Structure 1
């Protein structure tokens, strides 16, 4: 089995989908018996020791908490560390790679929307487009989380499909599970719901996630209900267009923005919702959809890019415009029977996605890179 160095030092500090990918993968590689080294930020070292007790944990220099310093260290310090660790392959799980490492490099490209939906991203998109082009050109193997992402890389970057490996994400069923009444109560309390039912969204509030149209569609779906649910937007930075959409809707429509939610609160938040709505315009994988299904939530998402690969027949679909969201969400809110069907189908579907299977696909990719 190859000795693998995973560069977790590049992973953002927030508890978003990317860090859940790296955490799930590292733990599964360790369970699979991989000869594993993990380089990480010093503050994360103890956590990775718990996640992967058999792995060699290598805290990086103090200065790499700064992005510019980390990118410079990636070109020089990371290859040196790989040689010292005796690594056969480096896995860069976050777009950028060392250009001259002395050992084969595998990179994960999480999505191609930097190219296909450039107006739906922040100004950082230029950096990610450049890093992705470079990584796809120079890495020995490219790992993507869906067939849709593979196909988009081939289309927009003329990437060689024979060098791209699909490895679906998994879901940690210990963390994401149908919640107890106490977990639901605790999450509702943290969101200030006071017993009010709600529709949930979880993710970054960036343009690609389509939250303004969700707000408008939700307002239209509940406007005639005697006791309308709230809409709770769990996650990242509040964008200006989200604020504008909130100002558009009637004062009787309650939109709650609790910000980032703690990991222990996610099962109660997702599983306690009437519906989890994730009307994204495009995803590399769509981990929030999988995690919501694992928590027993009925899910409404879009039939865009990778999302049908994740949801299959176990979720409801909408177009991303506000009118379509209003219509499909209204149908779900009106039918407890349909929501129950989706809950059961989603739980069964979620069990098909495991980090152990993902780790096996990654190990195969590492071996191809070495060969």
Structure 2
């Protein structure tokens, strides 16, 4: 079978890149003798993920990843020809839609979430219109649909009318090294280099509108006066909500204690997680929430939004708060800062919860989804397909 990675622009498509690459490595580790997998990708994949390319037969097309129109063309011209030449039984499309002209081969589709349909105000009108047309067609075309959480799968069934027996949750997972907290010396180094207070609250995401930084900044302002030894650290690059976040920080009265780091090296992020007094995730919308899982594995107590997939991920291991409840966020964070016993319990529960999510389990679920698709009758013809969603 083939895996269509023409949508995967390294360093641009975000968490879906990490999820997909990690699962493919997991499939290789499984060593399933009934699955022979080939990759179809941009040439950039060889440079960004040489270790992945080394594990699979890989066919690439020389296109610049940011040239979206050319990628769409490649998916509707080069890809079908390459698929037919390889005589594949199935093709997996992890990028969210099934391309037009899929080469007459049955499809497996991954839908990471339906945010463009559920929160259209966060996207361009062109993208929303495009996905409103293409997502339902792709869902009807695919024999099997995988989603990164059960919550996302339920939403796909509800919004797109997909029978639940065609939806296979393939959850994010961690490798064992994710549970190795950064050494105390590394935490001290990062704290000194960044000029942080003795304790800090961390939110490690780009400033997208749905990530809801403003609520967290306002909650921090509410507890800053009573907790003078605590800073707020916001890592991640600038997104479409950057101006709103900057304005909220300027108005909060504690802006000097809000640290904007931009993107940080992985070693620094690990140290920030390991040393955090709390990690906050007030996001309004998540198909899964990998950052929450990584925080729990690193031994950080978590406060998360009671929204979409986050409750599924954290279970009872974190404090849940309504996304826009500023007073609730201030109270939940203050409780972790003031109660060492609660903090220790949250850390222990989070670590235990994180052990339930392994990349090996995700890879097994994906392999089972492939096998289920191979056993299903053929889907509708190519006219039901869409184009690249990247």
Q: Shared topology, TM-score over 0.5? A: yes
Residues 126-145 of structure 1 mapped to structure 2, 5 A cutoff: 126-145=129-148
TM-score w.r.t. the length of structure 1 is 0.91
- 8 Å contact 1:217–1:323 — kept in the other structure? yes
1: distance between equivalents of 2:154 and 2:220? 33
SS in 2 for 1:62: coil
Query: Do 1:37 and 1:85's aligned partners in 2 also have CA atoms closer than 8 Å?
Result: no
Q: Which residue of 2 aligns with 1:7?
A: 4
Q: Distance in 1 between matches of 2:158 and 2:85?
A: 38
| Native 8 Å contact 1:78 1:98 kept in 2 | no
Q: Which has the higher contact order (CA 8 A, sep 6+)?
A: 2
Matched residue, 1:335: 339
Equivalence for 2:228:
226
- Aligned partner of 1:200 in structure 2 is 202
Alignment partners' CA distance in 2, 1:29 and 1:339: 36
Contact persistence 1:219–1:253 (CA under 8 A): no
Secondary structure of the 1:165 match is strand
Q: CA deviation at 1:252?
A: 5.6
* Per-residue CA distance 1:258-312 (angstroms, 9 max, x = gap): 1222333332122221111001112111111111111111111012121111101
1:186 and 1:176 map into 2 onto residues whose CA distance is 20
> Where does residue 35 of structure 1 map in the other structure?
36
Contact 1:64 1:70 in 2 (8 A): yes
The match for 2:329 among 301, 325, 336 is: 325
Q: Match of 1:314?
A: 317
Partner of 2:24: 26
Aligned in 2, Cα 1:119/1:62: closer, same or farther, shift over 3 Å? closer
Partner Cα distance (1:54, 1:90) in 2 = 18
RMSD after superposition: 2.2
CA deviation after TM superposition for structure 1 residue 26, in Å: 1.0
Tell me the number of residue pairs that the alignment of Structure 1 and Structure 2 aligns.
366
CA distance in structure 2 between the partners assigned to 1:176 and 1:272 by the alignment: 14
Match of 1:345 in 2: 349
Are 1:45 and 2:12 an aligned pair? Answer: no
1:294-337 per-residue CA deviation (whole Å, 9 max, x = no partner) reads 11111110121211111011111111121211111111111122
Q: Secondary structure at the match of 1:277?
A: strand
Looking at structure 2, the residues matched to 46 and 176 of structure 1 have their Cα atoms a distance apart, in angstroms, of: 28
- Counterparts of 1:92-171 in structure 2, within 5 Å, are 92-101=93-102, 102-121=104-123, 124-171=127-174
Q: Please list the CA deviations of residues 33-64 of structure 1 after superposition, one character each: whole Å capped at 9, or x if unmatched.
A: 24222233323315534136431122322245
The answer to whether 1:172 aligns with 2:170 is: no
Gaps spanning 5+ residues in structure 1: where? none
